[in-house]
Amino acid sequence: MATKYSDFIHLQNFLPVYDILEEGVSSWQSFIPTAQFNEMLQRSLTAITSSEISKRRSIWVRGTFGTGKSHASAVVKHLLCDDFDSIKTYIENINDPALKSQVRNLRQNKRYFAVTLKGVQQAYDIPRFTLSLQREVSKAVKAVVPDFVVNSDFTAAIN
């Protein structure tokens, strides 16, 4: 009788601990800030506020399964994008006084708009990535302002 790989290798069902696209109303607030999170938040703030072009770059979050990458990313998103009154309490959980002050000062004056792109979404090359990003930007804008028309290569191709 032939032996199959499936006789030796078994895959566990994948259950994401935190789904950034289907999160509960305040589930992001259960995240406990760590030194690594503070570093990620600081790099994120630098990327969006620095006057030096070389520092305004994407943030790559990596780590093994279950280490809190999605949850930490959701916290950064909420800290930057939610109404200030709804994040004030969480800001107090940040144990780095300078970082806490930076977040508070930034958010009292500005509020950012998040577009969440999760997984590859069939974006295996630059044109497909661009299309996926345009699609998600359009969807995010329409969720907030339903009458707003987003002109893009995607809508131009359809029309």
| Distance (Å, whole) CA 75 – CA 69 | 10
| Distance (Å, whole) CA 127 – CA 132 | 9
**pLDDT means per 10 residues in the chain (159 residues)?**
76 68 86 93 95 90 86 95 95 95 95 83 79 85 86 70
- The DSSP result for 49-93, as a single string, is H-SSGGG--------STTSSHHHHHHHHHHHHHS-HHHHHHHHTT
Q: What's the residue count for the chain?
A: 159
Asked if the structure places residue 27 within a domain, the reply is yes
pTM over 0.85: no
Residue numbers of the domain that contains 150: 119-159
Q: Are residues 32 and 87 in the same domain?
A: yes
Predicted local distance difference test score (pLDDT) of residue 100: 97
What is the C-alpha R_g of the chain? 19
Number of domains in the chain: 2
Q: Are residues 45 and 97 in the same domain?
A: yes
Q: Are residues 76 and 108 in the same domain?
A: yes
